[in-house]
C-alpha cells in the first residue's frame, strides 16, 4: 500500500474499499484478542487474485508488535512495551510507556491510515512536528511531546482540501 501512496492520494471509492478490508481484518484479529499495535500503510499488502475483476485484496502484515489482550498460557508473551509502533499512525494513548495495550490503538491507526489514503500523507506530517519530536533527548521525552502536540494540534488542514472527503468526517 505504501507504494500506491507514494504516487499520491487514492480515489475515495478505492480508499474506502481498502479501508473496509483492513477494518474487517482488524475486527477478526480483535475478535480473538489480538491487537496489531503498528498498523500503517507499510504493513498492508495489496494482492490481486485470478478473479478477473482486478480488485485488490488487502493482507495485513507484520504482527511483530501484536499483543494478546489475554495471554493464552504460561509461554513467552510479547512485552507490552517491547516497541511502541510508528508515531505517524500511533494513538496518543499508545505513546504512554505505562499504558495497557488496547484495541482502540488500532482503531486510531486505522483512521490515520484512511486520512493518508485520501490525502496522500498521514495526519500531522509537518516539518515542525518532525523537528520538534527529534529535538527531544530521550524516547520518554519524545513520547510526552507527541502526546502534547496531538492534544493541542488543529485538525489536519489537508482534509479540508480533499473534495471527496465528507464534511462530517472532517469534523471528527
111 has pLDDT over 90:
yes
Q: Which three cell numbers stand for residue 132?
A: 520538534
> What's the confidence (pLDDT) of residue 15?
93
The pLDDT confidence band at residue 9, using thresholds 50, 70 and 90, is very high
With left for phi above 0 and alpha for psi between -120 and 50, is residue 85 left, alpha or beta? left
Q: Where are the alpha helices (DSSP H) in the chain?
A: 2-6, 12-31, 103-119, 127-135, 139-152, 158-161, 167-171
Question: For 43-82, what is each residue's pLDDT tens digit?
Answer: 999 988 766 677 888 898 876 555 555 444 443 344 444 4
Phi (first) and psi of residue 16, to 5 degrees:
-65, -35
* Under 8 Å between Cβ of 88 and 125: yes
For 4, 24, 54, 115, 139, the CA distances from 47, given in Å and listed in that order, are: 12, 16, 10, 22, 36
Strand partners, 58: 46
Q: Which of 38, 62, 79, 96 is catalytic?
A: 38
pLDDT tens-digit series, residues 115-163: 999 999 888 878 888 888 889 898 888 888 888 888 887 766 655 555 5
pLDDT at 71: 46
Integer-rounded Cα Rg, in Å, for the chain is 17
Does the reported pTM lie above 0.75? no
| Known catalytic membership, residue 102 | no
The answer to whether residue 29 scores a pLDDT higher than 70 is yes
Q: Report yes or no: 53 and 99 within 8 Å, Cβ to Cβ.
A: no
Amino acid at each position: 500500500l505504501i507504494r500506491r501512496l507514494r504516487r499520491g492520494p487514492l480515489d475515495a471509492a478505492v480508499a474506502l474499499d481498502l479501508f473496509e478490508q483492513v477494518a474487517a481484518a482488524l475486527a477478526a484479529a480483535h475478535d480473538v484478542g489480538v491487537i496489531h499495535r503498528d498498523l500503517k500503510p507499510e504493513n498492508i499488502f495489496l494482492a490481486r487474485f485470478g478473479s478477473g475483476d482486478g480488485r485488490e485484496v488487502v493482507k495485513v502484515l507484520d504482527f511483530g508488535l501484536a499483543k494478546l489482550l489475554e495471554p493464552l498460557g504460561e509461554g513467552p508473551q510479547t512485552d507490552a512495551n517491547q516497541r511502541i509502533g510508528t508515531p505517524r499512525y500511533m494513538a496518543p494513548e499508545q505513546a504512554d510507556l505505562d499504558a495497557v495495550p488496547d484495541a482502540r490503538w488500532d482503531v486510531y491507526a486505522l483512521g490515520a491510515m484512511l486520512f493518508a489514503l485520501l490525502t496522500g500523507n498521514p495526519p500531522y506530517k509537518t516539518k515542525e512536528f518532525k523537528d520538534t519530536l527529534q529535538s527531544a533527548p530521550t524516547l520518554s521525552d519524545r513520547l510526552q511531546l507527541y502526546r502534547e502536540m496531538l492534544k493541542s494540534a488543529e485538525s489536519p488542514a489537508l482534509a479540508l482540501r480533499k473534495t471527496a472527503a465528507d464534511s462530517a468526517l472532517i469534523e471528527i
